[in-house]
Chains A and B, each alone.
Chain A
Amino acid sequence: MKHESIEINSALLIILTLLVISIGGLVEIVPLFHIKGTVEKVDGIHPYTPLEQLGRDVYVREGCYLCHSQMIRPFRDEQLRYGHYSLAAESQYDHPFQWGSKRTGPDLARVGGKYSNEWMTQHLIHPQSLVPESIMPSYPWLMQPLKFGDIEARMRALRDVGVPYSINQAEYDANVKKFGKALADQFVIANGVASVKEEAASQNWDGNPKEITQMDALVAYLQVLGTMVDFSKYNQGYFSTFR
């Protein structure tokens, strides 16, 4: 093909330009799906329970990621402030992931268990009542009821992209083996609505036991963040063997 025919045919020029540029991206991304050790071998990571997943959807809906990242980098100052650096394995069931590089507020990758449920609730309703110098906006509407009728559809959609929520006995059995019975029961898509109700009632998330609120779901999600891996089980240096 003569160079001139590319230069005078804009459609052809666009297609060939895209092709050349995408090679750069593909060379960087595609091998990660084939390289062993991209996702570390580590115990404890499991998909979100239906209530946590709904909380995650609230998190994304409210745009929390615009100010809060969920990725602790492997630097000393990050470790001292936030805890162990984030693993790829810890975001394997995140669709979409919440890594981010914009930290107007602190990183939330390991916020689970750091504050009490009461604090979380009060802080989300009116941050300045607890932290006067905070610039975080208030989210009082989170105390409104949670719509969870569509949880099963949400779980099916996540299953389509690889999250192991189960639709049949074989998948359920595999989950029992991998995550234990208690969690596997919550990952049954057909039980989605019942699981949400059960988990919402299992503890006092937002101080309002009378109804299932969006706050219940969001607090449940925040309290599980970064808590799945027991890092005391792994020796210093173990995770660098995957890099």
Chain B
Amino acid sequence: MSQSPENKKGQVETTGHVWDGDLREYNNPLPRWWLWGFYGTIIFAIVYWILYPAWPYADTYTKGVATVSFQTPVLDKEGQPVKAADGTVEMHTKTEHWNSRALFYQEMQTSPSALAQQEWLAKVKDMSFEQIAANPDTLNFANSMGHALFGDHCAACHGTGGQGVLSMNPEASYPNLTDNAWIHGGDYTKIVQDMTNGIQGNMPAFGALFKGEKLTDLAQYVLSLSHQPGVNEEAANRGKASFATCAGCHGANGTGNQMIGAPNLTDKIWDFVDVTGAPTIEGKLKLVEGVIDHGLQHQMPKFSDRLTPEQIRLLAVYVRQLGGT
């Protein structure tokens, strides 16, 4: 049985406000759950102020009593880290008032995922590349770490699967890492070196040296090295003499030189211009002529600033497996 407002009149206190002559507002007490919730937030705020950074005053603020501890290097008088005889940095525990940066250092050092990673990093620390690759467990670790690092640092150019980008424009092509050809060498140490220091690939432009028919003949010869269908043998033979200029880098028989990053021209693998993708021999010639004419400049950034030596080592294990012999 609901009570009509008239019945309630006189029983429940009103606020005393009157609208339009007869509209009144009841002054009912607030629901108890709401009221306690409200008091709860006040208590929460006071506890928060005591524990955490809260109130500003002058040029600083109340720091709170909650603390965060993490390991930090011991510093000498000049502010430089103290190193033990074997080169390891001496660490000590630093305790600071609660703040997100201290929490970050703590997370980097003691979170379960960080500890798990440290454990595996310690395991592979003194192993050779071959040993890491031979043990299924360490290989699994190197691959999962390598895959994540590759996706973030390498995939933008070399593709998510390491397949690279091969187009008709050499400036917009990036080497395929999954084929058998290692332009700069596929040894672990060489891969590490190239990722650490970056690569400055540079083939000079020979447009001034070879023009017109001479250029076409040379391109014919280059294509004949890998037995491309449709090559004019006669023209290729004429171009052979000009190849002496190229032999300095690509070798007398065109097999390339990994020391200076000159690709092998005798295999059917093309890293910078999609010769295979050009449907006609004229198209293939045009691509090769273009490279001879303009040269080729390619740079890979160095990753020594972004990746730790340990990360680069594991990434090298991953990358080495992508390619063949």
Contacts and interface: CB of A to CB of B under 8 A. Distances in A.
Given A74-B104, A76-B113, A130-B156, A236 B73 contact: yes
Given A76-B107, A76-B111, A113-B305, A235 B156 contact: no
Question: On chain B, which size bracket covers the interface?
Answer: 35 or more
A239 B101 contact: yes
A36 interface: yes
B105 interface: yes
Interface in A203-217: 207
A118 interface: yes
Interface in A51-74: 74
B301 A116 contact: yes
B12 interface: no
Interface string B160-194: 10000101000110100000000000000000000
Interface string B294-318: 0000111100011000000000000
A40 to B, nearest CB: 10
A119 B56 contact: no
A88 to B, nearest CB: 11
Given A35-B60, A207-B171, A83 B114 contact: no
Interface residues of A, number: 35
A177 interface: no
A181 interface: no
Given A74-B100, A115-B301, A122 B172 contact: yes
A24 to B, nearest CB: 13
A85 B103 CA distance: 13
Interface string B46-87: 000000010010111100000000111101000001000000
Contacts of A34: 56, 58-59
B299 A116 contact: yes
Contacts of A133: 160
Nearest to B114: A76
Contacts of B60: 35-36
A83 B306 contact: yes
A76 B112 CA distance: 11
Contact of A243 (B102, B114, B159, B298): B102
Contacts of A119: 156-157, 174
Given A122-B171, A237-B70, A35 B113 contact: no
A240 B157 contact: no
Given A31-B56, A114-B301, A240 B172 contact: no
Nearest to A232: B305
Interface string A149-172: 000000000000000000000000
Contacts, number: 98
Contacts of A22: none
B214 interface: no
Contacts of A241: 96
A81 interface: yes
A78 B105 CA distance: 13
B174 A130 contact: yes
A118 B301 CA distance: 11
B56 A35 contact: yes
A6 to B, nearest CB: 13
Given A115-B156, A236-B73, A240-B99, A36 B59 contact: yes
B211 interface: no
A139 to B, nearest CB: 15
B103 A130 contact: no
Contacts of B160: 133
Nearest to A240: B101
B241 interface: no
B272 to A, nearest CB: 12
B159 to A, nearest CB: 8
A83 B306 CA distance: 7
B280 to A, nearest CB: 23
A235 B301 contact: no
Given A31-B61, A235-B73, A236-B73, A129 B172 contact: yes
30 contacts: A27-B56, A35-B59, A36-B60, A74-B101, A74-B104, A75-B104, A76-B104, A76-B107, A80-B148, A83-B306, A85-B101, A114-B153, A114-B301, A118-B171, A118-B172, A118-B298, A119-B156, A119-B157, A119-B174, A129-B165, A129-B167, A130-B156, A130-B165, A130-B172, A131-B156, A132-B159, A207-B171, A237-B94, A242-B101, A243-B53
Given A31-B61, A35-B61, A36-B59, 14 more contacts: A34-B56, A36-B60, A74-B104, A81-B152, A85-B104, A115-B301, A116-B299, A116-B301, A119-B157, A119-B174, A131-B159, A132-B159, A236-B70, A240-B101
What 4 A-B pairs come out closest when comparing CB atoms? A31-B56, A237-B72, A74-B104, A240-B101
